[in-house]
Amino acid sequence: MLNSTSYFILGAFVDVGTLRYFYFIITAMLYILIVITNTSLIVVICMNRSLHEPMYLFLCSLFVNELYGSTGLFPFLLVQILSDIHTVSASLCFLQIFCLYTYANVEFCNLAIMSYDRYLAICYPLQYHTRMTTNKVLTFIVVIWLYSFVKCLITLSLNIRLTMCGNVINSLVCRNYLIVMLACSDIQVNNINGLIGVVLSIFVPLLPICFSYMKILKICFSSSKQTRKKAVSTCTPHLASLLNFSFGCLFEIIQSRFDMTSVPSVLLIILSLYFVIIQPLLNPVFVICTVRKHLSLYNEICPLLSTEDTRTM
């Protein structure tokens, strides 16, 4: 490793005195809640063969990713809350960057593929299981994870070679952009890789999302009221999850690249970790509420459909 520093100082932490124990308990409870809810849903999907459908397999991948991302953040955060000196070794810092960035990539790509899945379910209900087979679903999931890991490994390898002229990061966690800004060596390759990464991580997943929802809207406008109700009940949770995650990532990008000193510190802390805290908390709620609502509405509209037809939704 060519870095001129062996550790980084997290400058966003402030001395809160005995309140640290309160923050520790709240953070620990959030982590436990995320682990319990997401693990429970993974177990339910894996154990119940009737849920071995494309939609639930994608959801299972989503829940696994949320456990992965939360584990990359919360244990580290809990240790830092109780520490008097907020330092982190360079190797652990780069490991956290890798975990959080692969989490974000997998999450967005998974949501993009899920939008395509919803498009097939709504626009081609009778052909859904021939177009979205189990093998296809598993291939999509494997490609999403491998793509995200390889992409972040390339970014990490470019960061590790940098020579650092400072070691203070104005953040609660390690962030890729802030690490690069500390470098006093040439960062042109890192900037080019960052630009390519933005295109691959944001604009490429947006293509299937925009395509799918344009097709869904077209079907809704040209179909019956019943079809529109089914489409809304099917897509609402996915859209809620997508918008929630996009908001968190958008603020993460804004915070990294603009001066946010005018924003209250408490609000800044909450929003800076929004994408990796709120998403794993709300996604299980979206899923549980949506599945119940969707099945209820579907049975009300189409009471004569078979169980197999219901699962295609």
Q: What is the pLDDT of residues 108-118, one digit of tens each?
A: 999 999 999 98
- pLDDT for 258 beyond 80: no
Long-range contacts of 295-304 (CB under 8 A, 24+ apart): 297/229, 297/230, 297/233, 298/230, 298/233, 301/226, 301/229, 301/230
SS3 262: coil
What pLDDT digit, counting tens, does each position of 140-161 carry?
999 999 999 999 999 999 888 8
Task: Give the per-residue pLDDT at 297.
Answer: 42
Range of the domain at 90: 7-222
The total of other beta-carbon atoms located within 10 Å of residue 176's CB is 21
What pLDDT digit, counting tens, does each position of 3-53 carry?
457 889 888 777 777 888 998 999 999 999 999 999 999 998 888 887 788
Q: What is the percent of the chain where pLDDT is above 90?
A: 32
Task: Give the per-residue pLDDT at 293.
Answer: 52
From the list 31, 66, 32, 12, the residue with the least C-alpha distance to 267 is 12
What is the value of pTM for the model shown? 0.86
Q: In what order do the strands lie in the sheet with 168-169?
A: 87-89, 7-10, 168-169
- The answer to whether residues 11 and 168 touch, using CB atoms and an 8 Å cutoff, is yes
Indicate the helix (H) or strand (E) that contains 9: strand 7-10
Q: What is the percent of the chain where pLDDT is above 70?
A: 87
183 secondary structure, DSSP code: B
Of the two residues 229 and 146, the one the predictor is more confident about is 146
- The answer to whether residues 70 and 35 touch, using CB atoms and an 8 Å cutoff, is yes
The mean pLDDT value for 67-79 works out to 93
Task: Give the per-residue pLDDT at 222.
Answer: 78
* CATH number assigned to the domain comprising residue 12: 1.20.1070.10
What pLDDT digit, counting tens, does each position of 182-225 carry?
888 888 888 888 888 888 888 889 999 999 999 888 888 777 77
Angle at 251 between CA 246 and CA 253, to 5 degrees: 95
User: Does 191 fall in a domain?
Assistant: yes
User: Does 306 fall in a domain?
Assistant: no
User: Does 202 fall in a domain?
Assistant: yes
- The answer to whether residues 76 and 175 touch, using CB atoms and an 8 Å cutoff, is no
Q: What does residue 10 show for φ and ψ, rounded to 5 degrees?
A: -90, 100
Task: Give the per-residue pLDDT at 291.
Answer: 58
d(CA 103, CA 70) in angstroms, rounded, equals 9
User: Does 124 fall in a domain?
Assistant: yes
List for the chain the helix, strand, coil content (%; round to 5): 75, 5, 20
User: Does 248 fall in a domain?
Assistant: no
d(CA 87, CA 85) in angstroms, rounded, equals 6
Q: Cα separations (Å) of 309 from 7, 117, 127, 207? A: 57, 16, 11, 29
User: Does 58 fall in a domain?
Assistant: yes
| Number of domains comprising the chain | 1
Within 8 A by CB and 6+ apart from 256, the residues are 175, 177, 178
Task: Give the per-residue pLDDT at 298.
Answer: 42
User: Residue length, the chain?
Assistant: 313
pLDDT band at 72 (very low <50, low <70, confident <90, very high): very high
From the list 157, 195, 173, 182, the residue with the least C-alpha distance to 100 is 173
Task: Give the per-residue pLDDT at 104.
Answer: 92
Task: Give the per-residue pLDDT at 246.
Answer: 86
Comparing 47-51, 86-90, 122-126, 254-258, the range with the smallest average pLDDT is 254-258
User: Does 36 fall in a domain?
Assistant: yes
Q: Which amino acid is at 288?
A: I
User: Does 196 fall in a domain?
Assistant: yes
